[in-house]
Structure 1
Amino acid sequence: MHKQRLVIAGSGSTYTMGMMMSLIEEKENFPLKEVVFYDIDEQRQERNAKATEILFKERYPELESFSYTTNKEIAFKDADFVFVQIRTGGLPMREKDEQISLKHGVVGQETCGPGGMAYGLRSIKDMIELVNDIRTYAPHAWILNYTNPAAIVAVALKQEFPDDHRLLNICDMPIAIMISYAKMLNIDVWEIVPEYFGLNHFGWFTKIYDKSGNDHTERLKSRIIDEGFTPEDTEIANDVSWQKTFEQARQMLMDFPEYLPNTYLQYYLYPDQMVEKEDPERTRARQVIEGRQNRVHSLCDGIIEKGTAKDADLHVDIHGVFMVKAAASLAYNLNERFIVITENNGIISNLPEDAMVEVPALLTANGPKPFAIGEIPTFYKGLIEGQYAYEKLVTEAYFENSYQKLVQALTLNRTVISPDKAKAILEDMMEANASYWPELN
């Protein structure tokens, strides 16, 4: 089995240590000869890298090489895979996005509504530059992109790189939800065979089967409604915000019982309730800064200080395992089923051909082979078309430097609706993002 040269782009991320544990967990299925960290933030990267170096010596001694760099050529040359998880502007800009949105009485969230728009406009430029850099030094590498907001980024990358068939945008939210389904059904999450359709962070499970063909959908719905719904992934299980999010998913199922919803739909279906729950001085970004970021930094510092990861509170998370298993399926033509983002091209027959939809697909050495969905009901079609129009307008606004298209995008978005609010939010967002956004006209 060919051993891979893997690059982690954005290795200063707070998710990196979980990813490294996932590489160790899956090393028989996705064997590596070399891991390289790449980040433009040398300090954030170094903390993760020094801790990872110790971790690999103890738990992945067969790895031939581990290194970290801020040099693009050193990082990407001859890479087989690049996992991308960058955050332009970092958590401080995420916090500003959320605070500005809440100031105007609309949802303050990383990927939804005005926050998603702001983050998307920041991300597009850096993602295009990064893909070009990777292709300069590794023309045939698989690029697996986790960077948010994945929906907007996917649309922009498809426009910029229409013929790059080894660039795949993926998101772990469906599998994170499926972990909770698996716990309720008392089966392994990798035994679940889901049917699903939508856009990223904007979709529904239509059926939940197991690999023996048993249909658990109605049983699962009944249990969620009767017993409640809680997060089970180790990264979010004890997070109060995520616990409330899963509670809201139960309410969504009660209000719209046809399909099982992605949790992010709460922001679009109940935007006023979401605003009422938020505190501008204690946004989700602030919770992450004081929670996961501090925890991961302390964890890494402890490993470095002790010179061992033996007693460190490290665990495998679904964020990493999903990425690694998807990469293995691509690398070794395993034809395993994953929910991924891909161009529609008739998959959902009554949606635009160019929409970047999120659907189940077999991952092969020649890329994703998505399953046909066919027509979807009017309610879901209407919601998706409005959301996709928003995503497409944000992308067009970036390439055309169009203020008007951003006003249109926010007016279409279910978290805003009002043109007056859209304009007021944009003025504040433009000022906050002056060094990141294109100059609008």
Structure 2
Amino acid sequence: MSTLTLAIVIVFCIGYLFIAIESVTKINKAAIALLMLVATWTLFMISPDSYLQTAIGEQLAAVVSEAIERHLGSTSTTLFFLMGAMTIVELVDQNGGFNFVRDVMHTHSKRGLLWRIAFMTFFLSAILDNLTTSIVMIMILRKLVSDHKDRIIYASLVIIAANSGGAFSPIGDVTTIMLWNKGVITALGVISELLIPSIVSMVIPAYVLSLTLKGSLTFTAEQAQTVQASDLTATQRKVIFFLGVGGLIFVPIFKSITHLPPFVGILLVLGVLWTVTEVFYAHLKEPEEKGAMQKRVSQMLSRIDMSTILFFLGILMAVACLETIGVLTMLGQGLNETFDGNHYLITGIIGVLSSIVDNVPLVAGCIGMYPVAPTGDMAVDGIFWQLLAYCAGVGGSMLIIGSAAGVVVMGLEKITFGWYMHHISWIAFVGYIAGILCYWVEKTYIF
């Protein structure tokens, strides 16, 4: 490894460290990711001809520009997908589309509520995404469970169920979106083969946690009240809900029909939903219209979490630099040699690592480390890619800082790292391993 390559790797590792300890430094990880992007590619430009086989001079500059633009184009497909999906979910939420979820959850049995939370979170996260679903479920839990000791048990299950639900869906988690965008997994393949392992990884922890809950819940008049989050009629809210959630489900179908990238489908859904809501709000009376302006798509676009988008831009482009200089290929070959090509073990370790560090750069790195093969474990929908989707998603549940869902629930419910590690981590780990074993049985005896 050359000195320049080593310098790029060191810069990346330092940035990665600061991203991992964001809660300690209080520096937004998006800022660090952007610095990583600039620093790695700037170092790369010291001697680009060491990595790109081409002539010197203007031709070299053109080749470098083409390489960066190619990676940027690939990254942008993920970013546009995320921005579209975030806006759609926000629009449905702001217009009271998720009120029905709370009605379905209402029960006086603590254990009954736990199972309803488990399955509702699981399937919602497959349609929306694990982060958004976690926020929605915690908001609902606050209306249903007043005892904080009980609520943090439910909240911990929300983390596990959201991550498990996101793992089997091509639109349920950022990592599965990345793998789907890259074409290494298909919607039908990942749903059909990862659904049962993902359910197992959720059901086992849910059963263990149900043993800790006894008794019944009581509801105050305030808790029983349903909040109307929109100036629209009930029928209009239902139309927005079904267009939004149904549209997200339609995206994989649209891709299979047209063979266009997934972000085109998400923009189609956003365009349709935007048009419909504009028609609805255009007919509101003047006093209502002023308050309703905040619920229009044009206003919601200004409230998109740009720090998240910029974080993905920075980290994916920094990983692209490592791919360009050949480091990821060397690392992939090293892992294969060390573990003798055992992809169950390799992806299992990646899943454990994803509970410690962000799974986005881990998966991005794996995409760069391993080329897609025409047949075998590394083929499209092969064992390696499907296990990577499962392990990177479900593995994040083992520590509360291991996933975006865990971090947001940690902040909303004030769950400490130590409490989660002592009471929940081993339960999540058992579910994680059980899911891998279930997948092995599927691949050995069924598929």
Q: TM-score, normalised by structure 2?
A: 0.24
Higher relative contact order (CA closer than 8 Å, sequence separation 6+): 2
Which protein has the bigger helix share?
Answer: 2
Structure with higher Rg: it is: 2
